[in-house]
Structure 1
Amino acid sequence: MPGNRAVVYLGPGEVEVQSMEYPELVLPDGPGVHPDNAGRKCEHGVILKVLATNICGSDQHMVRGRTEAPEGLTLGHEITGEVVEKGRDVEFIQVGDLVSVPFNVACGRCRNCKERHTDVCLHVNPEKPGGAYGYVGMGGWRGGQADYVMVPYADFNLLRFPDRDQAMEKLLDLTMLSDIFPTGYHGVVSAGVTVGSTVYIAGAGPVGLAAAHSAQLLGAAAVIVGDLNEERLVQARSFGCETVDVSKGDIKEQIHEILGVPEVDCAVDCVGFEARGHGAGSVEEAPATVLNSIMDVARAGGSLGIPGLYVTGDPGAVDEEAKEGTLKIRFGLGWSKSQSMVTGQCPAMKYHRELMMAILNEKADIARAVNATVLGLEDAPAGYKDFDRGAARKFVLDPHGVLKDKRVDTEATLRA
C-alpha cells in the first residue's frame, strides 16, 4: 500500500502532518469517532487519491481551540480527488474518475437526504443529524487533508467531473465545490439575492468572498462586503465589490454613502460565532454582533442568509451563555421588520452541479475571487498560522503535486 500523510489537530494553535495508515472501506475507531460508528463497514464507499484539499475557516475554529474537538483529530472536509479503489456495492462511480466530495456525509436513503437536506442526514452520525469529514461532533469520518481518504456512499455523494483533462485544467476552481462555493452561494440564495438586488455580505474571509462572487453571478446590482481586515477588503474590491470597514463608524451610514439609502435588500452572515464588535476602537469579541447588524441593515420584508458557523459548545466563549451557543440577538428587531432567515450548514449537493457547470463554461472565476493559494501538504501548519492572522487567501493543499506549477514560494508568501 502507498504511504499516507494527514494533517492532525494536536491542541489549541497546533497542527502537524503525521504518517498514518492507508484507508480501508471501514470507519476506524479513533479521536472524534462516535462509538456507534466505530468499525462501520463501507462497501458502498471508495478510496480517493486526494488531488486538492482546502483549509477552511471552520477548521480554523477548531484549531483555535474554540470547539470541543479532540486532540488527534484528522482535519479536512474540502476534498477533490481521483478514485483509486471502489467497494463491492459501488455501481456508477469508477476507478479513475475525478470527483468532488461534498463536505456533508450523507446516506442518500433517509427522509432528509431524499428531500435534499443532505446537511442533516439521519444515518451517518449517531450523535445528531448531519455528518462531515474531519469535524468535531459530526460522526468521526476521517478528514481529507491527507494523501488518501475514504468516502462512503460514493454513488450518492460524489460529483464526477465529465472530462478529465478539462477538470485538471480547472482544478483550482473545482476544488471550491466541496464547500466554500456552495456555502457562499447558499448564503445569498437563502437571502433572496436576484437580478438587481443590493446585498450586504458580513465578512470578507473566503466564504464571504465566495458569497460576494455568487451574488454577482445571480445578477446583484450592488454587492457590499464588510470586515475589520483591510487586506481582505482589498481582495473584495479586486473583483468589483464595494466595501465597508466595520471598525470605522456605523455600517448603515457607510451603506448610505454607497447606495444613497441606509439599507440593502438582502444580507448574509459569513462570520459566525467568533464575531467582534463594530465601531471605532471595538476589538472585543461579541458573538451576536453580526446577526444583529444584518437584521439592522436589511430592509423590512428582506431575507437573511446565515451560513456563518455557530456552535453549541465553545470553551473559549466570552461568557457562560455563549459557551453553549446562547446569544443575545435582537430577535424583536427581525420580527418587527418581518424578516426571514435561513441558518445551518449548506446542503452542498443541492448546488454543486450547477456551480461546476458555471466553472467549466467560464461563467465563474471562484479561485480568483477567493485568492486561491496552493501549498504542499507539508506546509499545512504554516498555512493554518497565516490564515489565523487574517491572510486574504484561500489555502489549497496539494498532496501529490498535481498543482505544482501553481504552488507559491511558501516562505515568501507566508511572510508577506
Structure 2
Amino acid sequence: MADNRGVVYLGNGEVDVQDISYPDLVLRDGPGVPKENVGRKCEHGVIIKNIVTNICGSDQHMVRGRTTAPEGMVLGHEITGEIVEVGRDVEFLKKGDIVSVPFNVACGRCKMCRRQDTHICLNVNPARPGGAYGYVDMGGWVGGQSEYVMVPYADFQLLKFPDKDQAMDKILDLTMLSDIFPTGYHGAVNAGVTTGSTVYVAGAGPVGLAAAHSAQLLGAAVVIVGDLKEERLKQARSFGCETINLQDHDDVGEQIEQILGVPEVDCGIDAVGFEAYGHGTNHEDAPAAVLNTMMDVVEAGGKYGMPGLYVTDDPGAKDKDSQQGSLKVRFGLGWSKAHSITTGQTPAMKYHRQLMNAILNEKADIANVVNATVISLDEAPQGYKEFDDGAAKKFVIDPHGTLSK
C-alpha cells in the first residue's frame, strides 16, 4: 500500500489516481516545479491529512488542455484537513487541528501579503506574482487532491476551526472556504453588491452559484443567473435566483428586461472566464462573450467583478489572438459607460474567517447552494467527466472515507 495517493493529470483530457510521494517539508523537483523552487525548505509548514478536497472548474481548464500544464502534475487546490505533522518553525498550530487551506500560497512577509493581497504574493513563485497548489505556472506547489499534502507558511495561511466536532458537522460547507465561497464573495464585493442591488451572474457552475449566494448575503434584491445548462439553472432557482437559459436566448438585455422591467442591472459578476461560449449556440467558443455582455447590460457607472479565470496562454483556443489571451472586447463601450472592472485571483484569506462565521452561525448554506456531492478518491476521474459534462454538482473528494464512517 502506498503512503500517499493523488489525482494526476495525464494530458489529453485524462486524470488518474496514482501512487505519489508522501509529502515532507521540502518542495521537491517534479512536474511544473520551477528550478528556483526545487529544494525549498518549508520548516514553517505542516503536513495535512486531507478530510475533504474538491474538484474545481479551474482544474478542468487544465484537464481540457486549455493551459500549458505539464503531464504528471498532481491536481487540487481546495484543501481541508487535519494537521498530522508540524514544522520546526510553526508556533501557533498543533497536530490534530482541523484547518482550511486558502488556495493561494502566500508568505505573509512581502508587500502584497501585508496589504492582504495574498493572491499576488511576491515570494512563492519565481515566474510571476501569486502561487497556488496543483496549478499551472503557480510555483509548482504540489496539489491537494490526495491523501496527504504539505502546506507552507502555516501560521500565516491556515484557518483553524474553533471546535472539531462542530467542524466535522459542517465540513461540507467549510470545505468551500478554501476557494469557491471566497471567490464568489470576492466577485460580489468587487461588483459593488449591496442592499437592494440588481445583479447579473454569468455562469451557474459552483463559483457562479457561490457568487449568487454571496450577492444574496450582501443584500441584493434580485440575482439573475445565466447559463447554457438547464440543470445548473434549476440549481440556481432552488435558492431563489432568477435565471436565463443562454442556449435559448442570445439577447441577455432583453431577458433581463422581462425580469426587471429595464434591460440592465446595477452590477455584474463574470463566473465563466476565458472558456466562454456564444449565447444562443450549442457551446461554440466565444471567449469574450461574457465581458461584452457585461459591458452591454451593466448600467452606466456600474461595476463588475471577474472571479472567472483568464489565462495568458490558451493552446486550445481556435484563433491566434485567443491563444495568447488577447480577446476581442468592446472596451470602448465599457469606457463610455464609465465601468469599473476588477480582475485577478481571489485573496481567499481576506474573506475566509467571516465566511466561516457565517457558516457556523447558520447564515450561509453554501453546501446546499452548490449541491456538494461526496465521492471517493478512486471516483475522482469519473467526477471530472461528470463535471465536464455540466453536472449541477460540486464534487467533494473524501480521500480516507472519513465521511462514510
Q: TM-score, with normalisation over the residues of structure 1?
A: 0.96
* Runs (5+) with no aligned partner, structure 2: none
The equivalent residue for 1:251 is 252
Q: How far apart are 1:131 and its partner, in Å?
A: 0.1
The equivalent residue for 2:62 is 62
Partners of 1:196 and 1:272 in 2: CA distance:
26
The AA in structure 2 aligned to 1:331 is F
The equivalent residue for 1:27 is 27
Partners of 1:403 and 1:314 in 2: CA distance:
37
The equivalent residue for 2:335 is 335
The AA in structure 2 aligned to 1:163 is D
The AA in structure 2 aligned to 1:62 is M
Residues 181-223 of structure 1 show CA distances to partners (whole Å, capped at 9, x for unaligned) of 0000000100000010000000000000000000111110000
Partners of 1:319 and 1:182 in 2: CA distance:
33
- The answer to whether the Cα contact below 8 Å between 1:295 and 1:304 also exists between their aligned partners in 2 is no
* Runs (5+) with no aligned partner, structure 1: 406-416
Partners of 2:295 and 2:12 in 1: CA distance:
33
Q: TM-score, with normalisation over the residues of structure 2?
A: 0.99
Q: How far apart are 1:282 and its partner, in Å?
A: 5.3
Partners of 1:340 and 1:394 in 2: CA distance:
30
- The answer to whether the Cα contact below 8 Å between 2:69 and 2:135 also exists between their aligned partners in 1 is yes
The equivalent residue for 2:11 is 11
Alignment partner of 1:380 is 2:380: yes
The equivalent residue for 1:277 is 278
Partners of 1:29 and 1:296 in 2: CA distance:
47
Residues 27-48 of structure 1 show CA distances to partners (whole Å, capped at 9, x for unaligned) of 0100000100011000000000
Residues 278-316 of structure 1 show CA distances to partners (whole Å, capped at 9, x for unaligned) of 13x453201000000011110000001001000011110
Alignment partner of 1:289 is 2:289: yes
The equivalent residue for 1:413 is none
Residues 79-121 of structure 1 show CA distances to partners (whole Å, capped at 9, x for unaligned) of 0010000000000011110000000000000000001100000
The AA in structure 2 aligned to 1:270 is A
Matches for 1:323-362 after TM superposition, within 5 Å: 323-362=323-362
The equivalent residue for 2:83 is 83
What SS does the corresponding residue of 1:209 show, helix, strand or coil? helix
The equivalent residue for 1:263 is 264
The AA in structure 2 aligned to 1:256 is E
Residues 132-167 of structure 1 show CA distances to partners (whole Å, capped at 9, x for unaligned) of 000000000000000000000000000000011000
The AA in structure 2 aligned to 1:261 is V
Q: How far apart are 1:21 and its partner, in Å?
A: 1.7
Partners of 2:396 and 2:352 in 1: CA distance:
18
Partners of 1:271 and 1:162 in 2: CA distance:
34
Q: How far apart are 1:49 and its partner, in Å?
A: 0.3
Alignment partner of 1:143 is 2:139: no
The AA in structure 2 aligned to 1:90 is V
The equivalent residue for 2:170 is 170
Q: How far apart are 1:247 and its partner, in Å?
A: 2.1
Partners of 1:161 and 1:104 in 2: CA distance:
19
The AA in structure 1 aligned to 2:127 is E
Partners of 1:308 and 1:106 in 2: CA distance:
21
Matches for 1:88-99 after TM superposition, within 5 Å: 88-99=88-99
Partners of 1:20 and 1:233 in 2: CA distance:
38
Q: How far apart are 1:2 and its partner, in Å?
A: 7.3
Q: How far apart are 1:248 and its partner, in Å?
A: 2.2
The AA in structure 1 aligned to 2:44 is H
The AA in structure 2 aligned to 1:71 is E
Partners of 2:53 and 2:318 in 1: CA distance:
32
What SS does the corresponding residue of 1:123 show, helix, strand or coil? coil
The equivalent residue for 1:412 is none
Partners of 2:385 and 2:283 in 1: CA distance:
20
Q: How far apart are 1:402 and its partner, in Å?
A: 1.6
Partners of 1:12 and 1:367 in 2: CA distance:
31
Q: How far apart are 1:12 and its partner, in Å?
A: 1.9
Partners of 2:166 and 2:180 in 1: CA distance:
21
The AA in structure 1 aligned to 2:180 is I
The AA in structure 1 aligned to 2:162 is P
Deviates more, 1:49-58 or 1:2-11: 2-11
Residues 328-375 of structure 1 show CA distances to partners (whole Å, capped at 9, x for unaligned) of 101111100011010000000000000000000000000000000000
- The answer to whether the Cα contact below 8 Å between 1:186 and 1:307 also exists between their aligned partners in 2 is yes
The AA in structure 2 aligned to 1:234 is K
Partners of 1:229 and 1:12 in 2: CA distance:
24
- Sequence identity (%): 73
- The answer to whether the Cα contact below 8 Å between 1:27 and 1:39 also exists between their aligned partners in 2 is yes
